[in-house]
Structure 1
Amino acid sequence: MSLRLNSTAPDFTAETTKGTVHFHDWIGDGWVVLFSHPKDFTPVCTTELGYMASIQSEFDKRNCKIIGLSVDPVESHVRWEKDIEETQGAAVNYPMIGDPTLAVAKLYDMLPADELPTCEGRTPASNQTVRSVFVIGPDKKIKLQLAYPMTTGRNFNEILRVLDSLQLTAAQKVATPANWNKGDDVIIVSAVSDEEAKEKYPQGWKTLKPYLRVVSLQ
């Protein structure tokens, strides 16, 4: 199944390091970041999981849960978590999905549907496409999806930045410009007329072009 932005995130039930998760129920009325890893005990992913553990409170502030996935059993994840805490200085307190039959990886189109349903004998190279990030909204729709190569560690500060934008633009009729950060000026979307904008933004805005109106929300 091919997933696109605004597709419904596939639901599933899986065992994790924090018990059984029924994914849509677990999301509840908040946001979630699902990020996947090709194999346990891989170097780049070790740093990523540790960094996410160190900034989990930032996601908590945004009503956003974190959940990891690796194509290995839960027991392996538990052993890996010890290495992560030892080398990265942060304990993984969010769930890690065990996916030894590749079911979730296939469901999220990270591996071909015709792969044998086992993690046995697989290597990081054969799982290299299992390096994805999905941001999913309270409506269970995919709001962002990214895929990274194995040799490039993911920038999770960027995921936080995108999450701030997604949450702001879901609540207000604005868009965020290039390199926007929380608190920066935003763009009034074209669907908002000047008359409506006057009501929403009595402080005024800057018109760079008729289609490019910039406003401060501060």
Structure 2
Amino acid sequence: MEILPHDLQLYLEDHCDPEPAELQKINRYTYLKVLRPHMLSGHYQGRLLSMLSKMMQPRRILEIGTFTGYSTICLAEGLAEDGLIHTIEIDREFEEMLNQHFKSTNVDKKIIQHFGPAAQIIVEINEDSFDMVFIDADKKNNLSYFNLVFDKVRSGGLIIIDNVLWKGKVYSEETDADTRSIRELNDHVAKDTRVEKLILPVRDGIMIIRKK
């Protein structure tokens, strides 16, 4: 789901860097072969993630929600020479596909894959701190993931959370469980004085959080 009008979205994509050829293939594969392909970050959001990563030049990134690996590859574009991404995916059946996608873009040696419940794996990952965290998994647990990763993010590091506008439901009268969970997250972060934050109306809304 994209918040912006379709014509505006096309204009934005036409006026940012082109989608790399291998990512175009992953994009196409996702829409042809995978259920719920709209979960893919896609061209414009992918270029945003790539640019943020290049600005940060992170040594360690944590991604919660690998899906078909598109966003992982975008984040990897900005890694420091010795950088690594830990990425967590609940569905073990994606492993073979992900290995192929990461090898096709030559980032496989910079990616450590984890499969299973994110809340458990976050605690088990043996890293002192992360420069960037990208949260794009089951929405009802976004606030829990934010709280779990917060102390693992260095001062000046970024936490990026996807789908925070939730098809526009968060600023409507909707009261379903997922919408309430995302409102709770947004309200919590808005009041959190330990961070600087803003929401960009990119695709389904992406929140950029900088830890002070």
Tell whether the structures are fold-level matches, with TM greater than 0.5: no
Structure exhibiting the larger radius of gyration computed from Cα positions: 1
TM-score by length of 1: 0.30
Name whichever structure is richer in helix by fraction: 2
TM-score by length of 2: 0.30
